[in-house]
Amino acid sequence: MTKRFCDLCGKEIFKIQETYRVCVESSASIYASKQDIADVIVDVGEICPACAKRIHQTVQELKLEGVANG
Ligand SMILES: [Zn+2]
Protein backbone atom coordinates (compact mmCIF):
# COMPACT_ATOMS: atom_id res chain seq x y z
CA MET A 1 0.00 0.00 0.00
CA THR A 2 1.32 3.40 -0.97
CA LYS A 3 1.93 5.93 1.76
CA ARG A 4 0.06 9.19 1.51
CA PHE A 5 1.35 12.43 2.93
CA CYS A 6 -0.36 15.71 3.60
CA ASP A 7 0.62 18.25 0.93
CA LEU A 8 0.67 21.04 3.48
CA CYS A 9 2.23 19.79 6.71
CA GLY A 10 3.87 16.66 5.34
CA LYS A 11 2.40 14.34 7.93
CA GLU A 12 1.52 10.85 6.88
CA ILE A 13 -2.16 10.25 6.32
CA PHE A 14 -3.01 6.85 7.74
CA LYS A 15 -6.61 6.55 6.72
CA ILE A 16 -7.17 7.25 3.06
CA GLN A 17 -10.76 8.25 3.86
CA GLU A 18 -9.33 11.14 5.83
CA THR A 19 -7.72 12.92 2.91
CA TYR A 20 -9.21 16.19 1.78
CA ARG A 21 -9.01 18.21 -1.38
CA VAL A 22 -9.39 21.94 -1.07
CA CYS A 23 -9.96 24.58 -3.69
CA VAL A 24 -10.28 28.19 -2.61
CA GLU A 25 -11.29 30.72 -5.20
CA SER A 26 -11.19 34.42 -4.49
CA SER A 27 -14.23 36.55 -5.09
CA ALA A 28 -14.55 36.81 -8.87
CA SER A 29 -15.90 40.35 -8.70
CA ILE A 30 -12.69 41.63 -7.13
CA TYR A 31 -10.47 40.09 -9.75
CA ALA A 32 -12.79 40.31 -12.73
CA SER A 33 -10.61 42.93 -14.40
CA LYS A 34 -7.46 40.87 -14.05
CA GLN A 35 -6.22 38.48 -16.68
CA ASP A 36 -4.26 36.37 -14.22
CA ILE A 37 -7.27 35.10 -12.33
CA ALA A 38 -5.73 31.66 -12.12
CA ASP A 39 -3.20 33.06 -9.65
CA VAL A 40 -5.84 33.67 -7.01
CA ILE A 41 -7.07 30.09 -6.98
CA VAL A 42 -5.49 27.97 -4.28
CA ASP A 43 -5.64 24.33 -5.13
CA VAL A 44 -3.78 21.99 -2.83
CA GLY A 45 -3.62 18.28 -3.32
CA GLU A 46 -4.36 15.81 -0.60
CA ILE A 47 -4.26 17.13 2.93
CA CYS A 48 -4.85 15.73 6.40
CA PRO A 49 -7.96 16.44 8.52
CA ALA A 50 -6.06 18.91 10.73
CA CYS A 51 -5.02 21.06 7.77
CA ALA A 52 -8.49 20.83 6.22
CA LYS A 53 -9.94 22.14 9.46
CA ARG A 54 -7.43 24.98 9.65
CA ILE A 55 -8.09 26.04 6.07
CA HIS A 56 -11.81 25.95 6.70
CA GLN A 57 -11.47 28.13 9.80
CA THR A 58 -9.20 30.60 8.03
CA VAL A 59 -11.53 30.90 5.07
CA GLN A 60 -14.45 31.56 7.39
CA GLU A 61 -12.45 34.27 9.17
CA LEU A 62 -11.52 35.90 5.88
CA LYS A 63 -15.14 35.89 4.79
CA LEU A 64 -16.19 37.55 8.05
CA GLU A 65 -13.42 40.10 7.62
CA GLY A 66 -14.67 40.86 4.13
CA VAL A 67 -18.19 41.42 5.44
CA ALA A 68 -16.91 43.65 8.25
CA ASN A 69 -14.92 45.79 5.84
CA GLY A 70 -17.97 46.13 3.64
ZN1 LIG B 1 -1.65 18.38 7.15
Residue 25, H or E segment:
strand 20-25
Give me ligand 1 centre to Cα 65, in Å: 25
The whole-number average pLDDT for the span 2-8 is: 87
The whole-number average pLDDT for the span 30-46 is: 61
Give me ligand 1 centre to Cα 23, in Å: 15
pLDDT of residue 45: 78
Q: Please provide the average confidence, as pLDDT, over all residues in the chain.
A: 76
Residue 54 has pLDDT above 80, yes or no: yes
Give me ligand 1 centre to Cα 10, in Å: 6
The contacts of residue 44 (CB under 8 Å, 6+ apart) are 7, 8, 21, 22, 55
Report which of residues 12 and 30 the model is more confident about. Answer: 12
Q: How confident is the model at residue 39 (pLDDT cuts 50, 70, 90)?
A: low
Give me ligand 1 centre to Cα 59, in Å: 16
The whole-number average pLDDT for the span 5-30 is: 77
